[in-house]
Copies of this chain bind each other. A is one copy, B any other.
Amino acid sequence: MSALVIRPATRDDVAAIVALLADDPLGAAREEPDDPGTYDAAYDRVVADPGQHLVVAERDGSVVGTLQLSVIPGLSRRGATRSIIEGVRVARDERGAGLGTELITWAVEESRRLGATLVQLTSDASRTDARRFYERLGFVASHVGFKLPLGD
């Protein structure tokens, strides 16, 4: 396979990122790829925030993966800055070939470079392969993740 590049997402990548987010058992019901304005506005909010690092993995000019890294300073754990990984997606025809590992390894190294001493993420409990995947990369499944959607 040709070389992989992991780089900051541009506005021109938004449609490809949304397609990746939607091409997923859980994402299919959550996303609305036919509403690009919503995602363009969200992209603008992301790039306006220096704590957010939305990246794509590109191979042969195509976006084949994405993730978002958020850097969060805080007081707990001796003033630890932590990073949170969200929205990890790998294109269908790249799955099982190591791109997920490359993305997470990149995110961990980038977190260290940005001053984080702790990396965290949550994964839907129904993603049964994810636990093994993250544990193999050294993550510890020590926490329960709670969500509360806010209605109108």
Contact = CB atoms under 8 A, between A and B. Distances in A.
Interface of A: 14, 17-18, 21, 27, 30-32, 35, 38-39, 41-43, 45-46, 48-49, 51-52, 54, 68, 70, 72-81, 84, 86-87, 108, 111-112, 116-125, 130-131, 134-135, 137-150
Nearest to A131: B144
A123 B108 contact: no
A92 to B, nearest CB: 17
Nearest to A71: B49
Given A117-B149, A119-B150, A148-B138, A87 B78 contact: no
Nearest to A44: B73
Contacts of A30: 76-78
Contacts of A123: 143-144, 146
Nearest to A89: B76
Nearest to A85: B146
Nearest to A151: B117
Contact of A84 (B27, B49, B72): B72
B145 A74 contact: no
18 contacts: A14-B75, A27-B76, A35-B78, A39-B78, A42-B79, A42-B80, A52-B73, A52-B74, A68-B74, A70-B72, A76-B87, A117-B150, A118-B147, A119-B147, A122-B143, A125-B144, A141-B144, A144-B144
